[in-house]
C-alpha cells in the first residue's frame, strides 16, 4: 500500500491529479491535504473550511463527475472520502496460494513434531515413506497445537479487520525446515487505517487471541510433561523462561526439586512457542503488532519507543544471536509507524486499557534469552 502523507509538486501521477480534481470540486468546503492509494481504493483526506455534517449531499454531487463510486467516510474532525471503481468487480478468487502454504505448513510442522517425539527423520528420512502413519501420529499433537495458536492469532487480526472494513488478505503460512516447522504466518493490509481506534483493535486482536490459546495449550502440555533429573555433564537445549511460563509451571507442577528440570512434551513446547510468537509480535517496532499498538496509544512517540527497543535488541544479541536477526528484520520493516487518516480522533479509555493489556502480555511473555545450550 502506498501512503502519501503530503502532496508534492511532482511524481505522484494519478494520485496528484485526483487530489487536484477534488480540490477544485470542493472549493469552499474543504482543502485536500492527503491521498492514500491502494490497489482497490483511494482515500482522500481534507480539512473542512466550514461544518460539513449537513453538506454530504452537496459533496457527493460535486464529486459525481469524477467517475468513481463515492463514500463519505468522515466529515469531522476531517473530511475523508473513499473513491472506488464503478466497474463491476470480479467475484473472489479461491485462495489457492493460502491453502497450499497452509497444507505445506501442516506437513512441515507434523515432521517437526515427530522429530521432537524421537523419530529421526533427518538421520533416516526413508522412515517417512516406510511408516507414514507413525510419523503422522507422532507429529500431529505438536502440529495441531501450534497451528491452532497461529490460526487464532491471524484470524483475530482478520476478523477485527473485516469488522472495521479494512481490506486484508487471508493468512499466509510460511513453512520452514526448522525445529518448529514454520516461520509463522501473516496477513496483508490492502487499505489504510482510518484512525487509531481501528488500528488498535486490529493489532491487539491477534496476539491476545493467540495468547489465550497458547496458555491453554501450555497448561495442558505441562500437566503431562515429566520432571526429570539433570544428568551431570550432559548437553541439552534450554528454552527461555518467561514470567507467564514460570507461573503456569508453578501452578501445574509446584516447586521443581534441585537438580531436576521440566521436560516439555511436544504439546507443551507448542504452547511455549505460542508465548515466543506473542513476544516477538508485540515488540513496539514498525509494522509489528506492537508497533501498531504503540502508535495507537502514543502517536508519534512510538518512534522513540521503537529506537529504544532496537537498542535493547542490540544489547540482548550479546547473549542470544537471534536478537541480531530480529534487529535486522525490524530495520528492514521500517521502525517508525506511518500515520492513520484521522490521528486526531481519540481512542477512548476502553481501548487504552486494551493497549495496556497488550503491553502487560508482552512483559509476561518476554524471554531475554529464548534458547541456549547447557554442557
Using the predicted structure, report yes or no on whether residue 6 has a pLDDT greater than 80.
no
pTM for this one?
Answer: 0.86
CATH of residue 7's domain is 3.30.1360
Domain that includes residue 39, residue range:
2-85
The contacts of residue 178 (CB under 8 Å, 6+ apart) are 112
Domain final position from 85, 107, 140: 85
Q: Does the residue 321 lie in any domain?
A: yes
346 in the same domain as 254 = yes
Q: Does the residue 96 lie in any domain?
A: no
pLDDT digits (tens, 9 = 90+) for 103-115: 999 999 999 999 9
**Beta strand ranges found along 56-188 (DSSP E):** 68-74, 79-85, 172-175, 182-186
pLDDT digits (tens, 9 = 90+) for 185-222: 999 887 788 899 999 999 999 999 999 999 999 999 99
Whole-number average pLDDT of the chain: 87
Q: Does the residue 8 lie in any domain?
A: yes
Q: Does the residue 99 lie in any domain?
A: no
Q: Does the residue 54 lie in any domain?
A: yes
- Going by pLDDT thresholds of 50, 70 and 90, the confidence category of residue 7 is very low
Domain count, the chain: 2
239 in the same domain as 151 = yes
Q: Which of 160, 156, 161, 285 has its CA nearest to residue 210?
A: 156
Domain final position from 85, 106, 139: 85
Using the predicted structure, report yes or no on whether residue 100 has a pLDDT greater than 60.
yes
Q: Does the residue 104 lie in any domain?
A: no
52 in the same domain as 147 = no
76 in the same domain as 27 = yes
Q: Does the residue 95 lie in any domain?
A: no
Average pLDDT over residues 305-310: 95
124 in the same domain as 50 = no
Cell 468522515 maps to which residue?
Answer: 74
Amino acid at each position: 500500500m502506498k501512503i502519501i502523507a503530503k502532496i508534492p509538486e511532482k511524481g505522484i501521477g494519478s494520485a496528484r491529479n485526483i487530489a487536484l480534481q477534488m480540490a477544485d470540486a470542493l472549493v469552499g468546503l474543504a482543502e485536500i491535504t492527503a491521498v492514500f492509494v491502494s490497489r482497490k481504493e483511494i482515500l482522500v483526506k481534507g480539512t473542512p473550511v466550514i461544518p460539513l455534517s449537513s453538506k454530504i449531499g452537496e459533496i457527493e454531487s460535486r464529486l459525481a463527475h469524477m467517475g468513481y463510486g463515492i463514500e463519505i467516510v468522515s466529515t469531522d474532525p476531517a473530511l475523508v472520502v473513499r473513491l472506488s471503481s464503478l466497474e463491476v468487480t470480479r467475484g473472489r478468487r479461491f485462495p489457492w496460494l493460502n491453502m497450499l502454504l497452509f497444507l505445506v505448513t501442516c506437513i512441515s510442522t507434523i515432521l517437526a513434531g515427530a522429530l521432537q517425539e524421537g523419530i529421526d527423520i533427518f538421520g533416516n528420512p526413508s522412515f517417512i515413506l516406510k511408516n507414514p502413519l507413525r510419523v503422522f501420529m507422532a507429529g500431529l499433537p505438536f502440529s495441531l497445537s501450534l497451528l491452532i495458536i497461529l490460526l487464532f492469532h491471524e484470524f483475530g487480526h482478520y476478523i477485527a479487520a473485516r469488522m472495521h472494513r479494512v481490506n486484508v488478505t487471508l493468512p499466509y503460512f510460511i513453512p520452514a525446515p526448522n525445529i518448529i516447522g514454520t516461520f509463522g504466518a501473516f496477513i496483508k493490509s490492502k487499505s489504510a487505517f482510518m484512525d487509531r481506534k481501528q488500528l488498535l483493535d486490529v493489532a491487539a486482536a491477534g496476539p491476545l487471541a493467540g495468547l489465550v490459546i497458547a496458555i491453554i495449550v501450555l497448561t495442558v502440555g505441562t500437566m503431562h510433561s515429566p520432571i526429570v533429573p539433570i544428568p551431570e555433564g550432559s548437553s541439552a537445549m534450554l528454552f527461555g523462561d518467561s514470567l507467564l511460563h514460570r507461573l503456569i509451571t508453578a501452578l501445574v507442577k509446584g516447586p521443581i526439586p534441585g537438580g531436576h528440570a521440566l521436560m516439555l512434551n511436544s504439546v507443551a513446547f507448542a504452547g511455549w512457542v505460542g508465548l515466543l510468537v506473542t513476544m516477538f509480535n508485540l515488540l513496539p517496532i514498525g509494522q509489528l503488532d506492537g508497533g501498531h499498538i504503540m502508535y495507537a496509544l502514543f502517536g508519534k512517540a512510538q518512534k522513540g519507543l521503537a529506537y529504544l527497543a532496537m537498542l535493547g535488541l542490540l544489547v540482548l544479541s550479546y547473549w542470544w544471536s537471534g536478537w541480531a536477526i530480529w534487529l535486522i528484520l525490524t530495520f528492514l520493516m521500517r521502525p517508525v509507524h506511518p500515520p492513520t487518516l484521522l490521528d486526531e480522533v481519540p481512542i477512548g479509555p476502553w481501548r487504552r486499557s486494551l493497549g495496556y493489556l497488550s503491553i502487560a502480555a508482552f512483559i509476561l511473555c518476554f524471554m531475554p534469552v529464548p534458547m541456549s545450550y547447557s554442557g
